[in-house]
């Protein structure tokens, strides 16, 4: 009896020890994350004022804002979403509605999930090679210049190249959420529409897409959240600059690049702007994630 008691005591003691360790781990992790958010808020709010939205990025230790970078980021991000979302939507539709379990669909699903976590700097290297670097003096560039004239965006750094890179990150996100959301639509709905004589494309567009609409929009929002802070893919595609430049066929200013450059600069005013920009990006990302979460349909 006594021995039994000591065994129970020992088990209870170990239980206490490990549960305490779990609580400590949780406290440790949450503490750091809270600290980051706190520093971001205090330093970011310190640097945030009206000038941030109305003036362009300063050179040296002058005062200034982030207006050109905000506009540039909005341009690059919007174009990336416009380019990437339709492709992702259609590819996700293929996986969920046509391909299902064919070998091709399985292969594409696998490749898509790899692309979802591929280091984003490699995406930058890829776009740099096909849009920026290998192009000068090639027939492709000559054709491009012949057709588009000064608007040709090949052969040099440009906002459009950055959008291509970000679109490559948007596509896998949208594919994944679209497929998941379409698979949640009950088959009965598809069968009912087909029994009424609707062609397959009609069933998909007017029934399945509509039923999964909230989920698909969620995917789009998550994709925007994902790319709005991406820095590495823009480094060798947009390059970035400090002037007013809204022409997407050439270098434009981008908020993440400005944060990167200003954080590495020796000037306090640029540090303050870097924190303000970081706060803006984080606020955007968190808002988008919260909206996406509110829209997300409950899983059955």
Contacts to other proteins from residues 281-300, by CB under 8 A = 281-282, 285-286, 289-290, 293
Distance in angstroms (rounded) separating the CA atoms of residues 29 and 25:
6
59 to 78, contacts with other proteins by CB under 8 A? none
State the nearest-atom distance from the C-beta of 149 to other proteins, in Å: 27
Distance in angstroms (rounded) separating the CA atoms of residues 181 and 96:
9
21 to 60, contacts with other proteins by CB under 8 A? 21-26, 28-30, 32-33, 35-37, 39-40, 43
Say whether residue 97 binds other proteins (CB under 8 A): yes
State the nearest-atom distance from the C-beta of 262 to other proteins, in Å: 9
Distance in angstroms (rounded) separating the CA atoms of residues 54 and 270:
16
Is residue 253 helix, strand or coil? coil
247 to 276, contacts with other proteins by CB under 8 A? 256, 259-260, 263-264, 271, 274-275
Say whether residue 218 binds other proteins (CB under 8 A): no
Say whether residue 99 binds other proteins (CB under 8 A): yes
Return the ∠ at Cα 284 (arms to 278 and 286), rounded to 5°: 100
**Residue 268 CB partners (closer than 8 Å, separation 6+):** 61
Say whether residue 93 binds other proteins (CB under 8 A): yes
Number of H helices, E strands in the chain: 14, 0
State the nearest-atom distance from the C-beta of 272 to other proteins, in Å: 11
Residues binding other proteins: number (CB under 8 A): 96
Distance in angstroms (rounded) separating the CA atoms of residues 228 and 185:
30
Say whether residue 237 binds other proteins (CB under 8 A): no
User: Contact, 132 vs 236, CB < 8 A?
Assistant: yes
101 to 120, contacts with other proteins by CB under 8 A? 104-105, 107-108, 110-115, 117-120
User: Contact, 297 vs 211, CB < 8 A?
Assistant: no
148 to 177, contacts with other proteins by CB under 8 A? 168, 171-172, 175
**Residue 267 CB partners (closer than 8 Å, separation 6+):** 60, 61
6 to 25, contacts with other proteins by CB under 8 A? 11-12, 14-15, 18-19, 21-25
* Structure tokens, 218: 């969620």
Choose one: 65-73, 146-154, 210-218, 221-229; the region binding other proteins (CB under 8 A).
Answer: 221-229
Residue whose CB is less far from other proteins, 95 or 252: 95
């Amino acid at each position: 009896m006594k021995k039994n008691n000591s065994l129970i005591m020992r088990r209870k003691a170990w239980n206490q020890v490990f549960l305490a360790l779990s609580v400590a781990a949780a406290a440790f992790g949450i503490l750091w994350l809270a600290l980051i958010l706190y520093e971001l808020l205090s330093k970011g709010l310190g640097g945030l004022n009206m000038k941030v939205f109305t003036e362009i990025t300063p050179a040296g230790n002058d005062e200034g804002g982030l207006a050109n970078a905000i506009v540039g980021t909005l341009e690059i991000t919007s174009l990336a979403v416009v380019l990437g979302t339709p492709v992702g939507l259609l590819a996700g539709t293929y996986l969920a509605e046509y391909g299902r379990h064919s070998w091709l669909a399985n292969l594409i699903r696998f490749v898509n999930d790899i692309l979802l976590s591929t280091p984003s700097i490699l995406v930058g290297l890829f776009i740099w090679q096909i849009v920026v670097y290998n192009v000068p003096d090639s027939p492709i560039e000559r054709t491009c210049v012949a057709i588009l004239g000064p608007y040709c965006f090949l052969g040099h750094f440009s906002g459009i190249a950055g959008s291509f890179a970000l679109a490559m990150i948007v596509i896998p996100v949208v594919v994944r959420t679209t497929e998941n959301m379409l698979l949640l639509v009950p088959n009965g709905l598809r069968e009912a529409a087909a029994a009424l004589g609707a062609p397959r494309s009609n069933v998909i567009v007017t029934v399945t897409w509509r039923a999964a609409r909230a989920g698909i929009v969620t995917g789009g929002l998550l994709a925007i959240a994902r790319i709005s802070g991406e820095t590495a893919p823009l480094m060798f595609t947009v390059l970035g600059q400090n002037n007013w430049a809204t022409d997407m066929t050439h270098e434009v200013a981008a908020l993440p690049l400005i944060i990167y450059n200003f954080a590495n600069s020796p000037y306090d005013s640029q540090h303050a702007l870097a924190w303000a920009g970081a706060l803006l990006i984080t606020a955007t990302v968190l808002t988008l994630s919260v909206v996406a979460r509110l829209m997300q349909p409950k899983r059955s």
